[in-house]
Structure 1
């Protein structure tokens, strides 16, 4: 058995082989299975998505990520010039204006958006509802004396503009030719578990832009929304409703559907810790804050109220309830009330797992009553139940179980491939991008290696980011670490021929294409290395005692002889704050820790510690009116000053007196330690 991280996800050993590659090329397999006729992510209806024939790449084929399914070269090139306009119809106007902003970076000027008769050198965006060959996400691109992008929908047009941007990233001269490019998988997703940590809005915005550049279209977010109904759950990390609305709106502009998740009935400690009466109690009478008591009607009401709050903020067609690892590190026999509940409801042959499946089905009925479709992980489906899982539920398959991915497809469930070969765990392991590329991984390669048919029910695949050891890796490092494997994944789920013969060449191509215009710098370090004084409303930042020793609390001094600090930039976009007097580093590492060993508690004191490589000693300077916030790179909370001179961390949305004026003073410029 694999060892497990705190969230329960198994750690694949370094030698773990990828699922055995199926014999036929993925595009042919998916097309023959009818996957491309499945329902498309979006407004919720089903629509035919025709197969695009995978044509081998040639020397004349532009090298893109993901690659084009086909390309007919036209000979010669086209340069967009000073007279280039974007000519659009009404449906394409939002994309046209978006593209105009992006082209300002690529072309160095604002490209006008017009409607009318296109001219030579223009970019022409059109929607054509009669183009059934393009499905809901495909597009055609023709480059001759102008650039013509046509989609059956606005989404298809948008993806055509992503191809245009990548072509411009390679060369200012566009190759003449044409393509009809249709994805092989309807869902091309990224999952982010912001479940025990906080990924900043800026980081999620960059991820969304990166996803769109790679034609990825679903963002699965497990996060906690700050609650007015249940204020006791508002321990950090959480997202405010305002933050969620902005994230969803940003995703919508990039044609990305956001799928919210509240994991249940297991992994519920972010919500259940303050409510012991709703926790499942074992035979010793001990309640477990990670497990919801699914036999308690009040517990079901509590969970559905949380669901209601999410559904108000996330307008997409899906809701994800997790449903994984309810009995992680335990057994149903430790909770005999589940057996009693199941037999009372379903008869003497019922099993404890029937109580679990019944809970999932009840949540499904509730979610359907709200006009949404439920999604779950597969690992609770071990085949020990007599009550069947509702057929309308979408199953995301990540772990081999007795009920295989092929059985789920055979039984008519819509299934997404969320194999752990595509897991990025902060501070632990990453997907093996080279192996995935070299072995031609595709969405039919499930973790259990059983899929051979009924592919019309296979929705696509998902790349997942987990926070299990996030205290060891900053989100900026994660952003860098995801870069190669996310591009291999995007290539596989779009489904065209390989754009490069080997992984080394693919990596070079990825570096050449980079990020979309508008992605911005990976991070901003607004101040140079040097010696500074840091002053907030409560005084200047310093150590509470002199001489300071490791563990000394930081304080706000109200004195003219203000302490000084060295700002030492790190290679991942932060600073170390080193006290000039003691040589100790500002840190947040003392106090109550969460189950991932991070001091996430609001109000925890900042202290001076021996300088180490600890990521909690890295600080982000966030420019705000009047100065900067000092935000810890791991806890993602900002330093505030209290009336007693204390310096503690607080979430941004509740922080007061957290603006620091940072003034340079003559000093020796240190280097990063």
Structure 2
């Protein structure tokens, strides 16, 4: 068991890992991984060992085996349920790890996820230099949710691209992939009538009663979704699928006009019609069994004003229904606009057992949601949204320098910040919204907009700011470890 008495912060000569190591104690010399190395592991870590071997081969060309013996250098992956960390941060036991290099390499953690994150740091050290520096790293994330959201409702992303996004996130130790599965054109911006508006629902079930709901220009079969879940499990990323209701629901109102507001001439469900709620419940009944992760997002944003009682009833009904299906409900924050605050606790108010994505300060700010008792994910639109090639919401990509110099997950801006590490703040997620449905661009174009700031976001979600590290130095480190393993389509 390595000695984990290390400095309070990682010094300037710590290995160039993105996100950076929390703590690093340097030794003397280095260890060079050679052909024929071995990865020793317990049965519980067999999948991680196999992934590590494949990733090392891809990044370095070196071949190893999952067996101890006569190897010149051995990598040991180990679980230790009693491993202690020099922090009271609750994320450390779940995702923290110790990486020790001294003759061989040992990655130790309480959980398989912690071991996996340790192997990402090891791989980045190998990507930066063929010789591993002797020393001990102790590392853990600041927040349990480190996320990215992709709107595939307005613009289909092919299955191979979705799988690549998962691998890209994992390389940066981001662990929460929100997939926005249905949406539609913003007709007030294009001037087209609703019966000509782009709309899409991206899951395709074989159930006869769902015939006609799935988009004709691209949707995911159960086999496709299973492939996403398989890659996510291997890469220790949680998928959070989102079926967005009762607004952004043109795919439903086109399919079943009788449940649509204004007789179906809209993108909103008619919450005065009880059939609308029952239809949504039935759709969740059908698709939630596809989803392996603990959480499901039901949208709940930007519904028509003036329907506060109907909206609250719907919000509570769907959040309760998602829980009845064994999932934690997640929603976009909308309660300030919809009800002038979350109302009184209990049956007369809003369900508080919902994770709120605080996306807009007017609709429902992070501090307002926290004051009302909600757990919050920072998805602030002004800071974290990309609308590709638009003249709003960072159409050319997020401002990496500004994020590096002034942002962390507790920062919402404009006087709406929370305290760092607030117990109700779960973390943050950036987002891509494909609003411009009439513009021609593809998945690689989106990736090229996202990539420049991705490492900065990962840094701030995992480790926070590093004293004395400049943006230029960070950018140089990022380039040294920019080749992520498993990529097949995006890069």
Alignment of 1:379-458 (within 5 A): 379-382=334-337, 383-384=339-340, 386=343, 387-401=348-362, 403-420=364-381, 421-428=383-390, 429=395, 430-439=397-406, 441-447=407-413, 449-453=415-419, 455-458=422-425
Q: 2:287 aligned with 1:318, yes or no?
A: no
What CA distance in whole angstroms lies between the structure 1 residues aligned with 2:314 and 2:333? Answer: 15
117 and 156 in structure 1: CA distance in 2 versus 1, 3 angstrom threshold = farther
Match in the other structure for 1:80: 33
Q: 1:374 aligns with which of 312, 329, 335?
A: 329
Q: 1:309 aligns with which of 280, 286, 290?
A: 286
What CA distance in whole angstroms lies between the structure 2 residues aligned with 1:214 and 1:389? Answer: 36
State the 1:496 CA deviation: 4.4
Q: 1:103 aligns with which of 39, 45, 56?
A: 56
Q: Secondary structure at the match of 1:290?
A: coil
Q: 1:468 aligns with which of 435, 449, 457?
A: 435
Q: Is contact 1:54-1:497 (8 Å) kept? A: no
State the 1:89 CA deviation: 1.0
118 and 159 in structure 1: CA distance in 2 versus 1, 3 angstrom threshold = farther
Which runs of 5 or more residues in structure 1 are unaligned? 1-51, 333-351, 524-673
Q: Is contact 1:63-1:500 (8 Å) kept? A: no
Q: 1:197 aligns with which of 151, 155, 173?
A: 155
Q: 2:255 aligned with 1:274, yes or no?
A: yes
395 and 409 in structure 1: CA distance in 2 versus 1, 3 angstrom threshold = same
What CA distance in whole angstroms lies between the structure 2 residues aligned with 1:104 and 1:488? Answer: 27
Q: 2:96 aligned with 1:138, yes or no?
A: yes
Match in the other structure for 1:171: 129
- Over alpha carbons, which structure has the higher Rg? 1
Q: Is contact 1:86-1:112 (8 Å) kept? A: yes
| CA displacement 1:164-222 (0-9 Å, x = unmatched) | 11001110000111111010010101111111221011111211111111000011111
Q: Secondary structure at the match of 1:392?
A: coil
What CA distance in whole angstroms lies between the structure 2 residues aligned with 1:171 and 1:464? Answer: 33
What CA distance in whole angstroms lies between the structure 2 residues aligned with 1:118 and 1:317? Answer: 42
Q: 2:277 aligned with 1:300, yes or no?
A: yes
State the 1:519 CA deviation: 2.0
198 and 521 in structure 1: CA distance in 2 versus 1, 3 angstrom threshold = closer
What CA distance in whole angstroms lies between the structure 1 residues aligned with 2:249 and 2:358? Answer: 21
Q: Is contact 1:92-1:154 (8 Å) kept? A: yes
Match in the other structure for 2:81: 129
| CA displacement 1:136-168 (0-9 Å, x = unmatched) | 111000001011100100000000000011001
Match in the other structure for 1:208: 166
Alignment of 1:226-265 (within 5 A): 226-227=204-205, 228=207, 229-236=209-216, 237-265=218-246
Q: Secondary structure at the match of 2:241?
A: strand
Q: Secondary structure at the match of 1:166?
A: helix
Q: Secondary structure at the match of 2:261?
A: strand
What CA distance in whole angstroms lies between the structure 1 residues aligned with 2:228 and 2:413? Answer: 31
What CA distance in whole angstroms lies between the structure 1 residues aligned with 2:70 and 2:93? Answer: 25
Count of matched residue pairs = 444
What CA distance in whole angstroms lies between the structure 1 residues aligned with 2:433 and 2:425? Answer: 23
TM-score, reference length from structure 2: 0.85
TM-score, reference length from structure 1: 0.63
398 and 173 in structure 1: CA distance in 2 versus 1, 3 angstrom threshold = same
What CA distance in whole angstroms lies between the structure 2 residues aligned with 1:213 and 1:189? Answer: 13
State the 1:270 CA deviation: 1.7
Q: Is contact 1:484-1:510 (8 Å) kept? A: no
Q: Secondary structure at the match of 2:361?
A: coil
State the 1:53 CA deviation: 10
403 and 466 in structure 1: CA distance in 2 versus 1, 3 angstrom threshold = closer
Q: Secondary structure at the match of 1:450?
A: coil
What CA distance in whole angstroms lies between the structure 1 residues aligned with 2:296 and 2:435? Answer: 23
What CA distance in whole angstroms lies between the structure 1 residues aligned with 2:235 and 2:168? Answer: 10
What CA distance in whole angstroms lies between the structure 1 residues aligned with 2:49 and 2:258? Answer: 54
RMSD over aligned Cα atoms: 2.2
207 and 483 in structure 1: CA distance in 2 versus 1, 3 angstrom threshold = same
Q: 2:266 aligned with 1:289, yes or no?
A: yes
Higher helix proportion (structure 1 or 2): 2
Q: Is contact 1:61-1:71 (8 Å) kept? A: yes
Q: Secondary structure at the match of 1:75?
A: strand
500 and 483 in structure 1: CA distance in 2 versus 1, 3 angstrom threshold = farther
521 and 415 in structure 1: CA distance in 2 versus 1, 3 angstrom threshold = closer
Match in the other structure for 2:445: 477
Match in the other structure for 2:143: 185
Match in the other structure for 2:486: 518
56 and 138 in structure 1: CA distance in 2 versus 1, 3 angstrom threshold = closer
What CA distance in whole angstroms lies between the structure 1 residues aligned with 2:39 and 2:145? Answer: 29
State the 1:402 CA deviation: 6.6
Q: Is contact 1:118-1:124 (8 Å) kept? A: no
Match in the other structure for 1:31: none
158 and 402 in structure 1: CA distance in 2 versus 1, 3 angstrom threshold = closer
Q: Is contact 1:221-1:261 (8 Å) kept? A: yes
Which runs of 5 or more residues in structure 2 are unaligned? 86-91, 182-201
357 and 512 in structure 1: CA distance in 2 versus 1, 3 angstrom threshold = same
